[in-house]
A and B are shown apart, each in its own frame.
Chain A
């Protein structure tokens, strides 16, 4: 057994010191009727080499690099600098536990503090936690937090929220008896805030939204009474766009995958969660705070722990314990290595390339943008003919584009969504335009 250091001699000595003659005796406390119920899985022990071979074969079958990726919807194909993976793999980061003993966890805690700072900077908010599981549960927790704060029993949620976020929100709200009022969208793709119900704990807006359209948050906070304004945003776009904090958002959440995380078939991901200072006591999640030690040296420790489950138990602001710490570290290293200049350049590359592609596609007869609103790096195109057929043609030509059925829940029947990142070259964009033009 490769991972078990004890020899049979060790085991014998240990058994003797305990005063039993076999390891089996140490399981006498398990009721006899169930003591040996494990059914083998018919798995032999395998060498590392064999396992590597079996698992690699499964990985190879996916061939993601064979297709040029235009998939989006919250997860994007970005370039991750080599320094991120290299530093992230340091075992002191990887194999450490949650920093309950801060004196020997200053690495993790300092990085958490930096991450929180980055999140506050990007979102324009006062306080941020050290991560949630993903953007979808971050949204769910934001809604629950708003409900704890306002207790109105209802929230307004736009149709233009990512469907995967909506699905998780539906589940969490069903479980906690929070009514969801869905609000529609205008022809330009932006949210329609007319006829908002009264008595809401929160109004949720996503920007850019599921259509890729950038929402205008100006004046929204003033129109919603004392409901909390929850904004879900795209973190990379915040290098270019005004942050939700500038418009008085109460809570800001986001999916942080685009900040240096692998796509990883959807997990692990990274939930960003930020809020106004006045909401600190209701905020879920772990937070690192700065302090000093007995010598007056600066250090970091977990702050405001009385909100958390290990102290508050059934009255905690969340049940979250393990979050996405290593992913938060990856984002921190990513942001540190890109710097503000790198991020600005990145945002510009994403913006320009997406618009270049959109221009090229909409120049083809029959193709038009589904919405006229401004967009960042993702847009939806109404297509001529059958979207499924066009989708298949694109796949055949070596492009990864999402199936049109995925957009049906957003009310779009014959459309395709394209996300363009800095990784897409002009050649790739031209080729896609060519394929679409040729497939008329």
Chain B
């Protein structure tokens, strides 16, 4: 794969900016020459046609939701409405500097205020901050809120966060990053939190629990109310990871299940695009007891005006440069406006229907560790399909059939896990086709396993040697290797 650095340089490209219109004095006269760059920048000068061809070619090496089925469990790869893109590029939003006078930002502030209201309502919780810019960022902010809560109460011995063994990696990472230690709580044979195990670890050193609801097996914790009651009774708080909100959007609310902090992934549930790894947005909703600690600034509406409120003496401070990923919030706002209450409800109905339909069909071919009602996603296992065939082999072979593989090797509690989340924006036809592909690959695994071991053969590159990459890290273009 050639990089822009491999393109032939042109002599002098220019043409983007006009000639200088003020009398130029020269850099050496304006600043001390000792500050001036000595080494030339090895940034290539390439003509625009070359730049365009290069990145267009790169894009064609990618696979996005717009290309085909993308059943990545835990990621909610639903269709990204193009209306949202148009709204986010409106000059009144895109061209607005965050330090603009409030008088010139009323439209932006109103959008943030109204979106905050929608997210409060959807969560059924007291207040919301749009400031965190990713799910993990929301988790971190949530952990900061826990810390503040106990600090204000003088309970500084509460240093432990409980997590189920099915937790997403960001959960323990966020807890640890905020200075907590983590204690795993085992799941029982139904894949849900073992209430007895929970009882054993609950004491007054526990700050709280981080739960994903439904859990990462796609199973709704039917004892969720008992779990949160127990944690509250022990003086702890409950954090709900909202990555799986697509399964109960418009149906139930984390606030009613005992959540004290809940984060949204707008780039999952609210259809904003994933962008190859962001930008996303991870707004947090909180219960009344934590509202005063939310990050500053808050957005207020008083006397007919929207304003930023920095005067929150008990706030944890800020976790972002400004107000969060505003242009991502614009997309989510447009999405919610378009869907309305009825549309929000239809999301979870169809997401859950699609997942259960697919689970029912695929369990005939793959081992299904937890065979019962799932929500918007489910986990099967590649174990036992055929000798010497791993889930990795299955995933790579799916690429040859033009679908993006599901999430693999997560959650950690299922060996050779394959986590499938179809989302509501896929048709029955697509699901049937996907099932057929998986059934074909399962047959190949038994009859012609080399096809899986060699896969992918239909992708821009074959299987990449990650061991070589790890042992001989080349993390930027090696200019020294190239002939001048």
Q: How far is the CA of A326 from the CA of B62 in the complex (A)?
A: 13
Q: Mark A1-25, 1 if CB is under 8 A from B, else 0.
A: 1111110001101110111000100
A63/B316 in contact, CB under 8 A:
no
Contacts of B276 in A (CB 8 A): 93-94, 96-99, 105, 107-108, 111, 325-326, 329
A58 at the interface (CB under 8 A from B): yes
The stretch that binds A, out of B170-178, B198-206, B438-446, is B170-178
Which residue of A has the minimal Cβ distance to B110? A58
Instruction: Tell me if A439 is interfacial: C-beta within 8 Å of chain B.
Output: no
Q: A30-B252, A268-B327, A320-B136 are in contact. Are A74 and B321 (CB under 8 A)?
A: yes
Taking A319-B139, A340-B42 as contacts, is the C-beta distance between A104 and B328 under 8 angstroms? no
Is B34 positioned at the interface, with any CB of A under 8 Å from its CB?
A: yes
Q: Are A348 and B24 in contact (CB under 8 A)?
A: yes
Chain A interface: which of B93-101, B230-238, B383-391? B93-101
B415 at the interface (CB under 8 A from A): no
CA distance A96 to B404 in the complex (A): 10
Residues of B within 8 Å of A, CB-based: how many? 202
**Chain A interface, number of residues (Cβ within 8 angstroms):** 208
The residue in chain A whose Cβ has the minimal distance to the Cβ of B98 is A266
Is A320 in contact with B134, judged by CB distance below 8 angstroms?
A: yes
B81 to chain A, nearest CB (A): 6
Closest residue of chain B to A105 (Cβ to Cβ) is B62
Decide yes or no whether A382 CB sits under 8 A from chain B: no
**Is B40 an interface position by the 8 A CB rule?**
yes
The answer on a CB contact under 8 Å between B251 and A62 is no
Picked from B56, B81, B107, the residue with its CB within 8 Å of the CB of A60 is: B107
Q: 1/0 contact trace for B99-118 toward A, CB 8 Å? A: 11100111110110000011
Contact with B along A64-107 (1 / 0, CB 8 A): 11110101111101010101011101111111111111111111
Residues of B within 8 A of A406 (CB): 99
In the assembled complex, A242 has its CB within 8 A of some CB on chain B:
yes
Are A311's CB and B169's CB within 8 A?
A: yes
A200 at the B interface (CB under 8 A): no
Query: Who on chain A is nearest to B13 by CB?
Result: A339
Known A95-B65, A304-B473, A429-B22: A167·B322 in contact at CB below 8 Å:
no
User: Complex Cα distance A46/B462, Å?
Assistant: 46
- Structural contact, B279 and A326, CB atoms closer than 8 A: yes
Shortest CB distance B133–A (Å): 5
Q: Which residue of A lies closest to B130 (CB)?
A: A267
Nearest chain B CB to A399's CB is how many angstroms away? Answer: 11
Query: Is residue A54 within 8 Å, beta carbon to beta carbon, of the partner chain?
Result: yes
Q: Does A368 contact B (CB under 8 A)?
A: no
B16, B25, B320, B343: most-surrounded residue (chain A CB, <10 A): B16
Query: Is A203 at the interface (CB under 8 A from chain B)?
Result: no
Q: How far is the CA of A322 from the CA of B301 in the complex (A)?
A: 31
Question: What B residues does A136 contact at CB under 8 A?
Answer: 318, 320-321
CB pair B59 A321 closer than 8 Å: no
A402 CA to B101 CA in the complex, in Å?
7
Q: Which 7 A-B pairs have the closest CB atoms?
A: A266-B322, A59-B92, A266-B98, A326-B275, A325-B277, A95-B64, A171-B317
19 A-B interface contacts by CB (under 8 A) = A13-B428, A17-B360, A18-B356, A26-B352, A30-B251, A58-B110, A66-B104, A95-B65, A96-B63, A99-B276, A104-B456, A108-B277, A136-B321, A214-B31, A265-B98, A266-B322, A310-B410, A332-B4, A340-B45
